[in-house]
Amino acid sequence: MNDLSRSLRELPELSPPAGGWARLSQRLDARQGRRRRARWAGGLALAASLLLALPQLPLLRPSASDPAPSRAPARSAVVASLMQQSQALEQELATLKSETGVWNGALASNAASLQRDVALLDLQLSDLAFEPQADQAAAQTLWRHRVRLLEQLVSAHAAPTLTTTTAGLGSDASEAEVLEL
């Protein structure tokens, strides 16, 4: 190891050639330009081959003799009626929400729980809508339950209570008054 170290120390000191960094930079830029052009050429070749192959692919086009696929199962009259009731309740709820004042904690918690239950039911209904052989009885049950939940939610918004505190009114000031709106 000592011999190698001594040999390396005895080597003459070299200075880099003039303009070396500029030449290196030019070579690297040229190489990068070739790579970029090669990438573009490859991408264009791939796109062209796909365009040429596309007409050859058998596309799944429905013919005139094929029946039109139905995305949603046929709805019964009961389910359609429940859906209309649900929409009417949602419109009523939207109106009531804009008119509702401040709630106490228990009513707000109850409403949040009902809204969560409606959201969970909506997930179940959306899953049912994408099943090819959807069970109409299950759909009716879910829609009935949704209508009942919305009715409860509308009732909660229709008769909210406002909780106020009466500060500075003697010994009864610490108790909250519940007022019907």
Per-domain boundaries in the chain: 77-166+173-180
pLDDT of residue 88: 92
Res. 75 pLDDT band, cuts 50 70 90: low
DSSP 118-166: HHHHHHHHHHHHT-TT--HHHHHHHHHHHHHHHHHHHHHHHS-EEEEE-
Do the Cβ atoms of 111 and 172 come closer than 8 Å?
no
pLDDT for 76-105, tens place per residue? 888 889 999 999 998 988 888 877 766 677
More reliable by pLDDT, 20 or 168: 20
Residue 79 makes CB contacts below 8 A (sequence gap 6+) with 136, 139, 140, 143
pLDDT of residue 169: 41
Res. 144 pLDDT band, cuts 50 70 90: very high
pLDDT of residue 53: 72
Q: Residue 55, CB half-sphere, CA atoms under 13 Å: how many?
A: 3
Report the chain's mean pLDDT, rounded to a whole number.
76
- Name which of 78, 116, 138, 71 is nearest 108 in CA terms: 116
